[in-house]
Amino acid sequence: MVLEKLGNKNSVTSTNELSVAMSRASLSVGADNEVTNDATDVKRDFEMAIRRNKSTGHLPSANFVEMKILVLYTGGTIGMVRTENGVLAPLANAFVKNLRTYPQLHDRIYAEERFGGMGPLVLPMGATDKRRVIYNVLEYSPLCDSSTMTMDHWIRIAMDIKESYVHFDGFVVLHGTDTMSYTASALSFMLESLGKTVIITGSQLPIFEPRGDGIGNFLTSLMIAASYDIPEVCVFFGSKLMRGNRTSKLSTASFDAFHSPNAPLLATAEMRIQVDYRSIFRPCTLEKFHVHTSLNRNVGLLRLFPVITSYLVKAFLQPPIEGVVLQCYGAGNVPENREDIIAELRTAIKRGVIIVNITQCTQGGVSNIYETGKILSDIGVISGFDMTPEAALTKLAYVLSKPDWDLETRRSMMLTNLRGEFTETCPPSVRESDPFHTIARSLRLTSPSELRELGSILFPAMLNAAAVARDVAKLKILRSYGADVSHADADARTVLHIACSEGDAEIVRCLLEMGANVHTKDKFGRTPLTDAVEFDRHEVIEVLLKCGAHLHGSARLIGEKMCSAAAAGNLKRLRSYHLAGADLSQEDTSGRTALHLAVLHDHVQVAQFLLDHCADPQATDMVGHTPFDLAELAKSDECAKLLEISTMKCG
C-alpha cells in the first residue's frame, strides 16, 4: 500500500519495495499525493516488504548510472505556498504535485518512459552528466515549523534515515531555517559510522516563488548527495556546503543565511561544484552504520551577562539538570570577583553535572590564556574549544545519553573530536618536502586550483600503485602527504575499488581505517563490493560487510549475472553473491532464476547449493516454467530428483 505510493511497482530500483514506509511518519509521497495516517498499517507494510535485492521491471540504460536519493520533507519555508490572503503557509500534499510541474526538478518524459506516470521524481540531465538522479519525497504529517522542532523530531528523522539507508545513495532533509543548525548538529552525532551523504537544506523564500532561493538550494543538494563522496551530515545554503555541526544561522533576510565561522567549507557550488576533500571528516572505524536513538533532555544553555545573579545560576543548575553549556565572555572568561557564581558551578560539578565552556563570540574558541578563564578549568569546567552553541548542546545531550559511559568517560568524550565538531588544537602539517610539492614547484604550479588538479592526478595513481603492491607503509606515507584515500581517478574509481579487486583483505582493512568509503560508485555504478564479488574475494566481502557495505543498483541486473554464473556452473561466483547478501531467487529479464539455469544446464552442485540457500523451487519464468519443468525438458534427472525432494520438504 504505502510502498507502492513511493513509485511505480515495476521500477528496477524496487521503489515498490523501499522501506520508506516509516513506522513513525505519516506520509504523503510522490505518486498520488494521498496521505496514510495509520501508523500500524505503515509498519505492517514496511515489515512485509520484499528484501531489497528482489525487483521487477525493465533494465535501465547502460549509458549512465542511476542514483537514488530520499528527500525527507519535514516542513519549513521551502515548501510553502501563498494562500488566498497572500500569506505563506504549508499545504499538505501540495509539494510533490508542484514539483512534477517544474522541468528543472522533474524530467517528466524520462520518468514516464522509465517508471510510468506515477513513479518517482527524476532530475533532468545536462549534456555532460553521467548520473541520473532519481528521488522520492517523504512528506511529514503534520509539516513542522522549525521553531517547533524537538528532540523527538530529531530522533524521527534519524530513524527514517536508518530504515531507508540501504535503499538510497544519499539523503536530503528539507527543514525550516530557524533551528536547522540544531537538527544538523544532533543528527551528526546520532548517525554513527555514517557512510553516505546527508544534506539539510531549506530556503528564505519558497521553492515555488518566482525569485526564491529554494530551487537552487534543493537542486544543488540533490546533485551533491548523488554525486560526491561526502559521508557527513551537512548543511547546504546559498552556494556553500558546510559541516552540519559547524554551522549557525547568520541572517534572517539574506539568501546567504548560514555560515561556518570556525571551519572551512566542504564544497562551494558556483558555475562548478568544488569539493574540498581534505576538509571532510571521515569515520575510520570498522563498523556498520547505526543510529543512536536516545538523547538526554536534561541539558541547557546558560549565557553569562554582567548583572547575572548567583540565584539565577543556582536555580539553573538544580536537578534534574545533568549538562550545561556555559557561554562565557571572550576566550572563555568569567568575572574573577564573582566567587558566588564560581561556587555554584563548583557545587554542580561535584554533584556530577557536566559543564562545557564555550565563547559568546561568533569566531574563535575558549582557551586558558587569561586567569579569568583558567578559574573555570581549575574547578572542572570542560573546554568546548570552538564549538557552536548548537553543537555543544546536542553533543552534550548525545554523550549524556550513552548508558555504558560513566562520568569520566562522558567528560572525556566531550573533549574528543567525535564528528569534526571542533578544530583540532594541533592540526596535521603537510610536509613541504613531499613529492607532491616537489612536482608542483618544478611545474611552477601555485594556485589552489592548479594544486587540486595535480593532486587529483597524482594521488589516485600513487595510492592505486601502493594497493597493487600491497604496500601498507606507502599508503600511510601518502596519506601523511595529504592524499585522500577516497579520491577517485578519471573513471571515478578509488583505491578501495582497486584493493577489493586485488583481494588483499589487510590492505582493505588499512584503507577502511583511513576513512575509505565502502559506498563510492565509479562511473559504471560499481562499488568496492561489486568488485570484490566479481573477483570472488570472499574474505574481502566479509570485511566490507562489517563496515556496512551492501549491494547497490538494479537487483534485476544482479539476477542476470547470477543466472549467467549458474548457466556456466560457476559455483564460486554464486557463493560470492550469497555472501554479499543477494537474493538467490532474483529473476532475470525472462523471469528465470539462477536455479532455472542451473538445472537447465545440469549443474547438480550448483542446483544443490541454491536449494540449500533458500532458492525458490516453485519460481516460474515468463512462460510459466518452474525449475522442475526445465529439468524434465533438459532431461536433467539428478537435478529433477533434487527439486522433487526440495518441493516435498517445502510442502
Active site residues: 77
| Beta bridge partners of residue 139, listed in sequence order | 28, 73
Residue with cell 509539516: 143
Neighbours of 122 (CB within 10 A): 21
Q: Which three cell numbers stand for residue 574?
A: 554464486
Count CA atoms within 13 Å of residue 605 on its CB side.
Answer: 8
Instruction: Decide: 296 and 325 in contact? Cβ < 8 Å.
Output: no
Residue with cell 522549525: 146
Compute the distance between CA of residue 241 and CA of residue 579 in angstroms, rounded to an integer.
37
The kind and range of the H/E element at 444 are: none
Answer whether the bond into residue 142 is a cis peptide, omega within 30°: yes
Q: What angle do CA 405, 406, 412 make, to 5 degrees?
A: 80
Compute the distance between CA of residue 73 and CA of residue 71 in angstroms, rounded to an integer.
6
Q: Report CA Rg, the chain.
A: 27
Compute the distance between CA of residue 250 and CA of residue 260 in angstroms, rounded to an integer.
9
Q: Is 34 left (phi over 0), alpha (psi -120 to 50) or beta?
A: beta
| Beta bridge partners of residue 137, listed in sequence order | 71
How large is the angle between the packed helices 505-513 and 538-546, nearest 10 degrees?
Answer: 20
Q: What angle do CA 620, 651, 631 make, to 5 degrees?
A: 40
Terminal alpha carbon distance of the chain: 29
